[in-house]
Amino acid sequence: MSNIIGMITVLVGAVGAGVSVWFVSRQQRQQEQEHHQETERRLLAQLEQERHQHEEVERQQQQEQKHYQETERRLLAQLEQERRQRQEIERQRQQEQERHQETERRLLAQLEQERRQHQEVSPKDLNQEPNQEATPPEPHFPSWDSFNHVIQTGIGDLEKSLTNSFEEVATPTPERTPNFVLKLRDLLASGKWEEADKETLKIMLQVAGREKKGWLDVASIQNFPCEDFRVIDQLWLQSSNGRFGFSVQKHIWKSVGGNLKADDKIYKAFGDLVEWRVNENWLQINDLTFEPSAPVGHLPATAVRLGGLSWGVDGFWWEKREAYVFLLSEKDW
């Protein structure tokens, strides 16, 4: 009997221990499950937050892309409009250039025809016998060997001749001097030759309405008011005692056989006499002499740009000289 009671006691103790172990294990499993669920909820909340952030980023990117596309469309439309405007401006410029070229060709052809007619009815031709064939004289150009002699010994005579020729030129008085040349008059009077040189070109461009172009063509010279041109020239003559001015350059140009059909030999001869060319090289514009002691006809110099001329790295360019040649050869002023 005692053995049975002992066995029951042992059995009850074992069952109690097992129940206790099971209860503890169950509590641990519940705690672990709760911890797992809490971790899962936290992770899900974090994922949801990240998803919202990602959607917000995508929304902002879409807005930026739409803004970029709208900006791109607007810029492309603006560029297309500007391209069409440039094409229209270029078309108008080409038309204007063609009109000027046509006017130049027509004027040059008319002048050439008048020159030939003048030659045909010249007094020399009228004095010839009717059946005698007129032989045009051979053009005479100064030889290259004589240039140094002309420059060194002839400049004095030329200066004297020019001075005597222009002593009787009317001096512009303040009452008769147009307002647009008052600055030129003051610059020349104060001996600012380089500034006066640039002002001369500026005035001519303003009178001809060619400030934007920056140069004058044959048509502009043909239509240039003679009285305005004479005032400009007389200011240069008076301020330099007859040494400088377009009329001085015209006298020198004619003396070397200058005409509308002049060749390089004549240009070089002219350049040597006014000393825009020294030792067979065209001077840079910075090498010119803007002083009262400059050679006869040396100034004005920048105004030769009226035909699109300029001084480049290699010297003086005669690539577009029609307007200046027309001024010295045919312009009646």
Identify the residue whose tokens are 């020294």: 278
Coil, strand or helix at 297: coil
Average pLDDT, the chain: 77
Coil, strand or helix at 162: helix
- The residue among 267, 234, 265 whose CA lies nearest residue 252 is 267
Contact 189, 177 (CB under 8 A): no
Q: At what angle do helices 322-329 and 246-255 cross, to 10 degrees?
A: 80
Identify the residue whose tokens are 């952030």: 53
Sign of CA dihedral 158, 161, 167, 168: negative
pLDDT 10s digits, 71-130: 888 888 888 888 888 888 888 878 877 776 776 677 667 666 766 765 564 444 434 444
Residues 294 and 303: their CA atoms lie apart, in Å, by 16
pLDDT at position 104: 67
Contact 232, 181 (CB under 8 A): yes
- The residue among 309, 317, 327, 310 whose CA lies nearest residue 259 is 327
Contact 220, 131 (CB under 8 A): no
Residues 223 and 240: their CA atoms lie apart, in Å, by 27
Residues 326 and 319: their CA atoms lie apart, in Å, by 14
Give the H/E segment covering residue 278. Answer: strand 277-278
pTM beyond 0.85: no
pLDDT 10s digits, 284-305: 777 889 999 999 999 998 756 6
pLDDT 10s digits, 159-185: 555 445 444 444 444 444 578 789 999
Which of these ranges, 5-14, 37-46, 90-99, 116-125, has the smallest mean pLDDT?
116-125
pLDDT at position 57: 92
